[in-house]
């Protein structure tokens, strides 16, 4: 269970507020207008931002004060966050263990993820030799093979065509069937329906009174 209780984060004149619960093994779709704080919410959950008040609990344990590496999350950024000097396979393998070579079983798992996402055969290419959609699928493959229980996805289908999008949606449903918990930012209601996701709409940030 993920519990986000009265979480507050803001700047001089605006404040984001988040409050929800998500049972383990569910998919939550976060929607809302531009600037409403959807990516901010993911960054707070991942530990890249620090809330000013409130609580984040995973299985009853507070994550406040934990670094991103100490939290059981894998995150897909809008920018894909691939390393230019690493092959597509090596970039994906970072989702397994960044400091150890993958086992034969893990290599097979990664290669299957590439096949499921329609990028089989591209393992040895550098990111610069891939299209935007292919780069996005490599980053998604990295999340798919991660052993971490909570996966955060920031607009994971933005660069995908219809067929690739269908493959990615199917892959996420497989993850859910394996007991993973997923939170994704999306603007497409069809994706929410296809995933059978819970829905969390975020509103524009509150305006703070001037001091």
Say if residues 152 and 46 touch (Cβ distance below 8 Å). Answer: yes
Which pLDDT tens digit goes with each residue over 15-64? 899 999 999 999 999 998 888 889 999 999 999 999 999 999 999 999 99
* pLDDT over 50 (residue 210): no
Cα gap 173→34, rounded to integer Å: 27
C-alpha distances (whole Å) from 147 to each of 150, 180, 203 are: 9, 9, 32
- Does the pLDDT at position 191 exceed 70? yes
- In the sheet with 181-185, reading across from the earlier edge strand, the strands are 73-76, 150-154, 181-185, 27-31, 198-201
Residue 174 pLDDT class (50, 70, 90 cuts): confident
Task: Look at residue 105 and tell me if it is in a domain.
Answer: no
Tell me whether residue 202 is in a domain: yes
Does the pLDDT at position 209 exceed 70? no
- Predicted confidence at residue 85, as pLDDT, reads 93
Question: According to the model, what pLDDT value does residue 59 have?
Answer: 92
Instruction: Please report, rounded to a whole number, the percentage of residues in the chain having pLDDT higher than 70.
Output: 94
Residue 88: other Cβ atoms inside 10 A? 27
Q: Which CATH number does the domain housing residue 28 bear?
A: 3.40.50.300
Please report whether residue 57 resides in a domain. yes
- Whether the per-residue pLDDT at 98 is higher than 80: the answer is no
- 161 found inside a domain: no
Categorize the per-residue pLDDT at 211 as very low, low, confident or very high, splitting at 50, 70 and 90. Answer: very low
On whether residue 16 sits in a domain, the answer given is: yes
Q: Number of folded domains in the chain?
A: 1
Is 34 within a domain? yes
Q: Which domain holds residue 37?
A: 1-72+183-211
Identify whether 156 is part of a domain.
no
Average pLDDT of span 116-135: 90
For residue 206, what pLDDT is reported? Answer: 61
Residue 140 falls inside a structural domain: no
Residue 58 has phi, psi (to 5 degrees) of: -120, 120
Q: What pLDDT does residue 166 have? A: 87
């Amino acid at each position: 269970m993920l519990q986000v209780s009265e979480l507050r984060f803001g700047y001089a004149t605006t404040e984001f507020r988040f409050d929800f619960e998500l049972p383990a093994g569910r998919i939550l779709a976060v929607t809302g207008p531009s600037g409403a704080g959807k990516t901010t919410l993911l960054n707070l959950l991942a530990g890249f931002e620090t809330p000013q008040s409130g609580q984040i609990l995973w299985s009853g344990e507070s994550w406040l004060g934990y670094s991103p590496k100490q939290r059981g999350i894998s995150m897909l950024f809008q920018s894909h966050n691939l390393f230019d000097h690493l092959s597509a396979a090596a970039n994906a393998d970072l989702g397994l263990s960044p400091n150890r070579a993958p086992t034969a079983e893990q290599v097979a798992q990664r290669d299957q993820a590439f096949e499921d996402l329609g990028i089989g055969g591209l393992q040895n290419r550098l990111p610069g030799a891939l299209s935007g959609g292919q780069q996005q699928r490599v980053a998604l493959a990295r999340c798919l093979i991660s052993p971490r229980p909570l996966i955060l996805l920031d607009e994971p289908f933005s660069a995908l065509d219809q067929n690739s999008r269908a493959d990615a949606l199917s892959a996420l449903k497989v993850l859910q069937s394996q007991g993973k918990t997923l939170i994704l930012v999306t603007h497409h209601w069809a994706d929410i329906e296809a995933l059978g996701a819970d829905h969390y709409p975020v509103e524009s940030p509150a305006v703070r009174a001037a001091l």
